[in-house]
Copies of this chain bind each other. A is one copy, B any other.
């Protein structure tokens, strides 16, 4: 393994010149530059980034905290993050936390011990259960919720849920159910707000029976369907807003298994617009979050922060789209 000294020797220049030739070529004469490059070629020099980063007090690495990498939505956000980070010469360390606080802490240590320069958190901020914000830790939240006390890029969750519910109302549905995430989850709270607002505007009293708690997994969506199936048909919602696509897919499975036709007897709207949703049977009407864009925006924010720059805004809201497909149809009493 050759080092900068070997290159200097072969090139007949000082190590300082070699160093400059690599990190600030414009400050070196063409002649020296050529000598250095030839020498690098000759001794097969590969700079030791471990040494370089150490010296520069920068890891050129960030860590991303993901509740579950196998979730397509999260994976897509991470792709966006990774794309801009790699363009800027930064590596992305994967922190699949599996919803465990201990793992979050473990990964955060990478930042405290300088192995990473900052962190992007994909779990929404949760008062009383959040390891961020933290002094001396540069962090950005991606795809989070309202009132996140550190820089954040997200969509208007309440607005999106309201849009979807409004749409169901416009189709003539009067009893509209909702499948939520865990009740304390901020996404649940924000989206429930929009859902309730919509019903209220329409003069409909929302009913406790219409709310089924899930946990953002297909399995829990299927479970939630059971809840609605148990309600007598005359009182049962005729349409449901699911707070993500996974649960919507699970719920469809549940309803079909019970002989309830989707969408004829039960309209369903999802949230996120993951890739499989358009291939679901029926194709899912859903709120499309710009997952990759969210990731990119979060990455750019974090880079600015790492470079010590100011942020133009610290609650960056991206537009969502409402995508109508086949899982939602007019009410047919």
Contact = CB atoms under 8 A, between A and B. Distances in A.
Interface string A291-312: 0000000000000000000000
Given A69-B75, A113-B49, A61 B93 contact: yes
A252 B252 CA distance: 17
A76 B72 contact: no
A48 interface: yes
B218 A276 contact: yes
A265 interface: no
Contacts of A276: 218, 249, 276
Contact of A113 (B46, B63, B75): B46
A195 B94 CA distance: 37
Contacts of A113: 46-49
Contact of A114 (B48, B93, B106, B250): B48
A86 to B, nearest CB: 7
Interface stretch (A30-38, A50-58, A160-168): A50-58
- Prevailing SS type, chain A contact patch: helix
A91 interface: yes
A20 interface: no
A78 interface: yes
Contacts of A252: 279, 281
A111 to B, nearest CB: 10
Contact of A49 (B114, B275, B280): B114
A121 interface: no
Interface string A252-275: 110010000000000000000001
Given A93-B92, A110-B91, A69 B79 contact: yes
A188 interface: no
A282 to B, nearest CB: 9
A82 interface: yes
B250 A50 contact: no
A249 B279 contact: yes
A209 interface: no
A115 B82 contact: no
A59 interface: yes
A103 interface: yes
A207 to B, nearest CB: 28
Given A47-B113, A61-B115, A218-B276, 8 more contacts: A48-B54, A50-B54, A51-B54, A72-B72, A79-B96, A91-B94, A92-B94, A222-B279
Which 9 interchain pairs have the tightest Cβ spacing?
A281-B281, A54-B54, A49-B113, A50-B54, A49-B115, A91-B93, A92-B94, A50-B114, A70-B75
Interface of A: 46-51, 53-54, 57, 59, 61, 63-64, 69-70, 72, 75-76, 78-79, 82-83, 86, 91-94, 96, 103, 106-107, 110, 112-115, 218, 222, 249-250, 252-253, 256, 275-276, 279-281
22 contacts: A46-B112, A46-B114, A48-B113, A49-B110, A49-B113, A53-B115, A69-B78, A72-B72, A75-B75, A78-B96, A83-B96, A91-B93, A91-B110, A92-B94, A93-B94, A222-B279, A249-B276, A249-B279, A250-B279, A253-B281, A256-B281, A281-B281
